[in-house]
Structures are given as C-alpha cells and as structure tokens.
Amino acid sequence: MQKKIPFNRPTFIGGEVDNVIDATKRGSLGGNGHYTKKCQQWITQHMGGGRTFLTTSCTSALEMAAILMDIKYGDEVIVPSYTYVSTINAFLLRGATLVYVDVDPGTMNIDHKLIAAAITQKTRAIVVVHYAGVACEMDSITTLARDSGVYIVEDAAQALTSKYHSRSLGSIGDIGCFSFHETKNFTSGGQGGAISINNEELLARAEVVYDNGTNRMQFLRGLVDYYHWEDIGSNFFMSEVQAAYLWAQLDKSSIIQEQRSKLWRRYRKSLRPLAEQRAITLPLIPDDCEHNAHIFFFKCLSAEQRNAFIAHMDLGGVVVCAHFVPLHSRPIGLMSGRFVGQDRFTTADSQCLVRLPLHYSMSVEEQNVVIEKCWTFFKKR
C-alpha cells in the first residue's frame, strides 16, 4: 500500500536531541533554566519589546491572560467564532460571556469593521486571532480598543515571526499568546507555548501568576528574603527539556521560514490559474502584512465540492484537511454567548475552506504530487 503524503510532519532541524541531552546534564529540568532564558530572549527580541514567558501551551498562555485581565463573571469578550476552542475556553473558565463577530472572507480574520457594534459597557477585551499567520487589521482595532478602554489579546498561535506594518504579531496588543504545538512552524516537542506581556501595568502581576501565584521570581533576584503566596496563579512553566528542543529550531528559524515560504509561494503560483478561472478562491494577503507561511488554504465553490475534493485527494494518497467548525454553531457555543450582526461568511466560508500539506520537511516531489492531484480534480469540473 502506497504511503500517503501527510498533512503535517513536526519540524525537526537537527540539534534538538543534543540540546535535550545538554539540558539533562545541566541538572535542572523544571523550567526557567538556560534554554528557557535563551528562548524567551529570542522571542522578546523578535517582538521588539514586552516580556516573554514560556508556557506549557498556547492554551495555558490564554488562561494566564484571562487571569491577568481579571476577567470575571458577567464580563464580555469579543471573539471570532472561526477559531480553535482554546481561544474562548480561557475566558469561559473565568465566567465571561462570548460575543462573536463575523470574519473578513479574504483573510478569515475577525472583521474589524464589525467590532464597534459588539462593544458594550460590559466589554472587557477584544481577542483577535491571526489566522494562517496573516495579521488582523490591528491599527483600527487598537484605536477602537483604546477609545473604548478595553484590552486586546492577540491569539498569535499561528503567527510567530509574522508582521503587520513591520511590527511583530503578538507585540501589538496588551498580551500576545503563541503555540509551539507539533503542527506549528516551530515546536517544543509536541506541546508548548509562550505569552508576551506588552502592557507594563500587567507585568508585575504576570511574574506572580506565572509561578503559582508566588513571588518566587523576586526571591531569586534577591529582592525579598523568602517567597510566599500572593495571588491566584498556576504552574505555567515549560519544562527545560521542551525549551532545549525548541531552542534548536528558534536558533535556525530563518532556515525553517525560508523553506516554508518557498513551498507556500510555489503553491500559490501553481494554483493561481485555477483562481483566475474562478474554480477556487485564494487567500488575501494584505499589502501591509508579512506572513509566516503557516497554512496554505483555498476555498472551493461549495461545501459539497470541498468534501468531494478531500475525498479525491485521499484516494490519490494526499491528506488534506478542512479546519475550524464555527464555535457558535455548537450548542455550548450559543449557551456561552451571542453572535452580533449577521453570520455572512463565518459558517459559509468555513465549509468551503481546505488546507494543503505544508511543513518544513516536505519535498518538491511531494508538493508536485499535491499540485497535480489538485489540477486533476478541478479539470474534471
């Protein structure tokens, strides 16, 4: 039986195992050690400021963000419905009500023009998700948030190294959250994340919440004689083994990104004629955005065609995938919040969207097969 071309292979660039062995020899694996500091410094430098903490996942980074913003029962948080459930679980766990807003069909990001209508006196935060590593319209959103006195959280799980007007995604809002899951451009061995604190008013508390609600970081810097419990919190630390694994990839990030970008550009060039024939719709990359080639997706003309395409590719030995099911379409989603305005694009476009294989170790030969199978399907239509 012929082996299928997988949708994803976790990034492995070499050096990961050596780093893990070195971390073990250093004798401290609980986190906040040599490799944790190197990773945090790298992310902070790429953010252009703020303060970075490695976390167990992007989910835990979002949960930490909800604590730092003091989200309480009855607060409202504006979110896109087209996202992974981790984006909203963090705020539901704190008692917030979700307020869903439709997406821009070009990028599948939250439509900035619709956010103002969703803001009420109860609004505490706007959560933006940079889908496929392409930036939301952050200038407009930042102005609106400032005028309304609400926080901005960037769910930049897919967006490390992406930029908006030359500013790194995850550095623009009050808080940025990242993922190092095995499907992301860089992985810390399967799971992992980071949080960037860009609002200085949140930084002192972040140190405490990050470390089980204690002031141990002040103790380690010699600022207090002993550490004790000060606030709610959790153990958000990434282990030193994971940080060692991650550092091998962050240290070679330009190599990883160049390979992914080549694959992404080749997909777009090869499939552009299909878009010109209106057989598919390619994603929009705004002129002011530099994306990280995290996902290559396009939209079929209908849900039925998308499902037929997925089946065709599977028979041809290629794994392609749909993506998020809109959160407000599930019973728990509606019980937890409300959709403001009309759902013009979130549901309809999510049913047409399909993602092609894209990962660091993908060969040109594999990509040729994927492209050829795509053309075979649409030529028959």
pLDDT of residue 368: 98
In this prediction, the residues of the chain whose per-residue pLDDT falls under 70 are: 1-2, 381
CATH 3.90.1150.10 fits 253-379, yes or no: yes
Write down the domain spans for the chain: 16-250, 253-379
pLDDT of residue 73: 97
Owner of token pair 């959560």 = 127
209: nearest Cα among 232, 186, 175, 188: 232
Q: CA 216, 218, 221: angle at the middle one, nearest 5?
A: 110
* 334-350 tens-digit pLDDT: 899 999 999 999 999 99
- In Å, the largest CA–CA distance within the chain is 74
pLDDT of residue 81: 98
pLDDT of residue 222: 76
Residue 87 φ then ψ, to 5°: -55, -40
Q: CA 344, 286, 197: angle at the middle one, nearest 5?
A: 90
Number of alpha carbons in the 13 Å side-chain half-sphere of residue 52: 25
| CATH number of the 16-250 domain | 3.40.640.10
pLDDT of residue 118: 98
pLDDT of residue 223: 80
* 43-82 tens-digit pLDDT: 999 998 899 999 999 999 999 999 999 999 999 999 999 9
Q: What is the SS3 assignment for 45?
A: helix
pLDDT of residue 2: 65
Structure tokens at 211: 């470390």
Q: For residues 343 and 60, give the distance between their C-alpha atoms in angstroms, rounded to a whole number.
A: 29
**Where is 168: in which H helix or E strand?**
strand 167-168
